[in-house]
Amino acid sequence: MADIFISYSRTDRDLIQSLAEALQSEGLSVWWDRNIGGGAEFARAIEKELDAAKTIIVAWSEASIGSHWVRDEADYARAEDKLLPLSLDGVLPPLGFRQLHALEFQGWNGTSDHPAFAKLLASLGAQQPVAESSAPKTSAWVKPSIAVLPFVNLSTDKEIEFLADGITEDVIAEMSTNQHISVAARSSSFAYKNQSPDVREIGKALGVRYLAEGSVRKMGKRARISAQLVGVETGAHIWANKFDCLLEDLYENPDDLVMQVSGGLRAQLISAEQDRANKLPVEALGIWEHCQRALSVFGRGFVFVDRIRQMLEDLERAIGRAPDYSLAHAVFSFGASGALSNGAYEDDQRAVLFERSKRHLRIARSGSEEDLYCLTWIAAAEIFTGKHDRAKQRLEHVLRRNPANPAALFWINQAYAWSGQHVEAREALDRAMSIAPEGGFARLHPWYTALTAFAAGDYEGALPPAKAQLVISPSYGACLAIAAVSAFMSGDEAAARAFVARAKAENPHLRPDKLIGMFTSQHDREKGARDHQILEQLWAEPS
């Protein structure tokens, strides 16, 4: 049995022979079907070799795309996480097999010193499993994938049919703005128009993890648009929502509806990915999963020293596997600067966290280019370090390109709030919650609301949402601190002392001096200094 199985079309036999010989010259064991007969013996031998192989190279070409044997072998390889695709003549893999990048072999000259062959060897090295581990193999670069199926017209009006198709196309376009999510092309999705096969069959055929589907219904002068997100593996509904509007408005300006649908889908997909990442063992995580597990620490209000330490250690290992993955550097900087801002660090780690945050932020900036999702987390890290104007400019750029980005709206809310633009802050937060009332960072909506009011000097307005956040995240130290100052300034000194007592008990590493950045980076510096002084006075009192 060989470690490498090559699936190919007999039309490409000569090139595959050269490839097999080149791999064998590197000391690799290779199997390809040059010396086997047909019939049942042929099928049994292939099944055994496929099962034994650690990597299955699928050589796509104009000829192999039409081969049922090659497609079956590729389907098996993908399901077993063994697939390593090549393009022999520049052709794209068939639909359903485009989530993994196919190495370009069109210009290969048959030698082992050619760049294409060097990339193949590197890929093979990256895919070799660790012998002592039985954990599932996960590529560092695998993206979550989704297909948006054609929205169904539930009326007899043909105009609604065109409207439903247009909404589908626009949602596909909006979802595609996130470079870290693989979105099936329109041609792939629309192949299932007017069909109703099982979602798991569609997902398998398209090679995606999630499906979005929906409908448009005419109700007199109004329209109801329903949308839902389905997990392909289980067929379970992850999210569903309905949107009502005037039919006339939908015809004239469908953009708001598209923003709501795509924003909701994006937020729920990210939440589903975070749930998935948190359930996987660490050794099975890819670089994307590491980033989502890290982001969930903050998104769920788990801002504690031990959690952040583990988060950064996991990210450090992930970056070692994929040092050019800018998102991981952005998330690392976000996590480290977030720990500093929230006071969630051990005393001797402040300088280390500060330097590592700066270093990873610098790397993220240099490689982000037009990666809107990465730019969002770069800006979030900048907000934590007090660079509010720079973060605003970055997020405004992101939102011009991608208005349905709930995370960018949540973070620009903070940039506006700390810059003294209180009206803009509230508007951004309201828009974020209208687009994505669930999923993503929506769990922290009360906290953002409290900070927005607090920064504006509305202490009485800040206290109820701070209390609401503490129901969700009862040990959130920074929130307890804000609640304490807000209660004190609202005239309830007993409640203020109770909040401080909880903060001390739940967060033994927390002290007022660790939160000074959160207070003094407010636009009104005098207010920030006064707020922080109140916290120090409350903290100094015996518990």
Mean of per-residue pLDDT scores for the chain: 88
At 129, list the tokens: 């499993």
The one-letter amino acid at 246:
L
Contact 419, 390 (CB under 8 A): no
Within this chain, do residues 111 and 27 fall inside the same structural domain, yes or no?
yes
**Is residue 135, in this structure, part of any structural domain at all?**
no
**Cβ-proximal residues to 191 (8 Å cutoff; 6+ apart), any chain:** 95
Nearest-angstrom CA–CA distance, 192 and 196: 8
Q: Looking at residue 114, which CATH number applies to its domain?
A: 3.40.50.10140
Within this chain, do residues 31 and 99 fall inside the same structural domain, yes or no?
yes
What is the CB neighbour count within 10 angstroms for residue 455?
26
At 508, list the tokens: 């033994």
What is the CB neighbour count within 10 angstroms for residue 423?
9
Nearest-angstrom CA–CA distance, 264 and 464: 26
At 166, list the tokens: 């247009």
**Is residue 280, in this structure, part of any structural domain at all?**
no
Helix axes 255-279, 406-418, angle to 10 degrees: 100
Within this chain, do residues 370 and 396 fall inside the same structural domain, yes or no?
no
**Is residue 101, in this structure, part of any structural domain at all?**
yes
Cα angle: 99, vertex 105, 109; to 5 degrees: 170
**Cβ-proximal residues to 189 (8 Å cutoff; 6+ apart), any chain:** 147, 148, 149, 150, 168, 172, 206
Number of separate domains in the chain: 5
The one-letter amino acid at 103:
L
Last residue of a domain, one of 225, 241, 273: 273
User: To which H or E segment does residue 239 belong?
Assistant: strand 237-246
Nearest-angstrom CA–CA distance, 36 and 483: 75
Nearest-angstrom CA–CA distance, 449 and 465: 6
**Is residue 100, in this structure, part of any structural domain at all?**
yes
Within this chain, do residues 150 and 269 fall inside the same structural domain, yes or no?
yes
Digit-coded pLDDT (tens) for 375-412: 999 999 999 999 999 999 999 999 999 888 999 999 99
Within this chain, do residues 357 and 379 fall inside the same structural domain, yes or no?
yes
Question: Three-state SS across 346-373?
Answer: CHHHHHHHHHHHHHHHHHHHHHHCCCHH
Tell me, what DSSP letter sits at residue 99?
S
**Is residue 221, in this structure, part of any structural domain at all?**
yes
Within this chain, do residues 111 and 186 fall inside the same structural domain, yes or no?
no
Q: Looking at residue 431, which CATH number applies to its domain?
A: 1.25.40.10
Within this chain, do residues 308 and 339 fall inside the same structural domain, yes or no?
yes
Q: What is the pTM of this model?
A: 0.72
Within this chain, do residues 377 and 400 fall inside the same structural domain, yes or no?
no
Nearest-angstrom CA–CA distance, 476 and 306: 13
- Report long-range pairs for 317-321 (Cβ below 8 Å, ≥24 apart): 317/290, 318/140, 318/285, 318/287, 318/290, 318/291, 319/287, 321/140, 321/287
Within this chain, do residues 499 and 524 fall inside the same structural domain, yes or no?
yes
Q: Looking at residue 194, which CATH number applies to its domain?
A: 3.40.50.10070
| Residue among 264, 194, 189 at smallest CA distance from 225 | 264
Nearest-angstrom CA–CA distance, 180 and 400: 19
Nearest-angstrom CA–CA distance, 139 and 137: 7
Within this chain, do residues 406 and 494 fall inside the same structural domain, yes or no?
no
Nearest-angstrom CA–CA distance, 423 and 405: 19
What's phi and psi for 108, nearest 5 deg?
-65, 135
Which residues are 86's β-sheet partners? 59, 103
Residue 202 lies in domain: 145-273
What's phi and psi for 31, nearest 5 deg?
-125, 130
pLDDT in the model for residue 41: 60
Last residue of a domain, one of 445, 471, 495: 445
Nearest-angstrom CA–CA distance, 286 and 283: 8
**Is residue 279, in this structure, part of any structural domain at all?**
no
**Is residue 278, in this structure, part of any structural domain at all?**
no
Nearest-angstrom CA–CA distance, 352 and 340: 11
Nearest-angstrom CA–CA distance, 277 and 287: 10
pLDDT in the model for residue 141: 59
Within this chain, do residues 391 and 373 fall inside the same structural domain, yes or no?
no
Last residue of a domain, one of 224, 249, 273: 273
Within this chain, do residues 158 and 259 fall inside the same structural domain, yes or no?
yes
Per-residue pLDDT of the chain (543 residues; tens, 9 = 90+): 788 999 999 888 889 888 988 887 777 888 888 755 455 466 777 888 888 888 999 999 999 998 888 988 888 888 777 889 999 988 888 877 776 778 888 888 887 778 788 878 877 764 333 333 333 334 455 789 999 999 999 988 888 899 999 999 999 999 998 989 999 988 888 988 888 778 888 888 888 999 999 999 999 899 999 999 999 988 889 999 999 999 988 888 888 899 999 999 999 999 999 999 999 888 788 899 999 999 998 887 778 898 899 899 889 888 988 898 999 999 999 999 999 999 999 998 999 999 999 999 999 998 887 899 999 999 999 999 999 999 999 999 999 998 889 999 999 999 999 999 999 999 999 999 988 888 778 889 999 999 999 999 999 999 999 999 999 999 999 999 999 999 999 999 999 999 999 999 999 999 999 999 999 889 999 999 999 999 999 999 986
Nearest-angstrom CA–CA distance, 236 and 20: 43
Can you tell me whether residue 40 is helix, strand or coil? helix
**Is residue 240, in this structure, part of any structural domain at all?**
yes
Contact 428, 412 (CB under 8 A): yes
